[in-house]
Amino acid sequence: MLHLAAISSVAVLAGIAIQDIRHRAFVWWLLPILLAGLLLMSLRMNSFEVVGMNFLFNLGFVVLQLCLLWIWFSLRERRWIKLIDTHIGLGDVLLLVCLGVAFSPVNFILFVVGGLLFSLLVVMIYRVLRREAFALIPLAALLALPMTLCCAASVCFGINLHSDGWLLPVYEIYSP
């Protein structure tokens, strides 16, 4: 069951990436399928309570990011702005919400920061090589690629994305 959930999640992420790169949009019905696959993967390794609490925290993190972005752009433009579909796509936001079910809060924050840095790097390389800028950045596609790696690592190496245990050795090195 875990492998089927992972394969379906990876297939949906690939579909999202391909559609987002080609059209800067993807069909909405892929998101419930992705959410179901990621939820099944998460519940295979964790209790419903752990997954639920982690998802609520991750949802709060996404909402906080959106609020801060809205404040930033509103101050920058000196008027209240419409954030969704002018500065960030609804599909990008909904994808982040779906991905929140797959991670612990610390891993989700690291994933989002790493995914955004990866996206920035890809866009910068694209600008240098093609000498042109993206009209719209395919953020969903650029977040789907590292999520595919996370799904593969979870299945192939048994990594629990809801556990922050891999950070303990790092914490012990830097603790007084």
Total domain count for the chain? 1
Domain ranges, residue 44: 2-174
pLDDT at 159: 82
Each residue's pLDDT, cut to its tens digit, for the chain (176 residues) gives 667 888 999 999 999 999 999 998 999 999 999 999 999 999 988 999 999 999 999 999 999 999 999 999 999 999 998 988 888 999 999 999 999 999 999 999 999 999 999 999 999 998 888 877 777 889 999 999 999 999 988 888 888 888 887 776 766 655 55
The confidence score (pLDDT) of residue 128 equals 87
Whole-angstrom distance, CA of residue 58 vs CA of residue 99: 9
pLDDT tens digits, one per residue of 79-93: 998 988 888 999 999
| End-to-end Cα, the chain, rounded Å | 43
Chain centre distance of CA 158: 20
The Cα–Cα gap between 151 and 172 comes to: 27
* pLDDT at residue number 172: 62
DSSP codes of every residue in the chain = -HHHHHHHHHHHHHHHHHHHHHHS---TTHHHHHHHHHHHHHHHHS-HHHHHHHHHHHHHHHHHHHHHHHHHHHHHHTS----BTTTB-HHHHHHHHHHGGGS-HHHHHHHHHHHHHHHHHHHHHHHHHHSS--SS--HHHHHHHHHHHHHHHHHHH---TT--GGGHHHHHHH--
Q: C-alpha 40: how far from its chain's center?
A: 17
**What pLDDT, on a 0 to 100 scale, did the predictor assign at position 86?**
86
pTM for the model: 0.90
Could you report the per-residue pLDDT of 20-42, keeping only the tens digit for each? 999 989 999 999 999 999 999 99
State the pLDDT at residue 1.
64
pLDDT at 170: 63
Quickly count: other Cβ atoms within 10 Å of residue 39's Cβ.
Answer: 18
The pLDDT value recorded for residue 3 is 77
**What is the pLDDT, as a whole number, of residue 161?**
87
Q: Taking a C-beta distance cutoff of 8 angstroms, is the pair 21, 143 a contact?
A: no
Cβ-contact 124, 106 below 8 angstroms = no
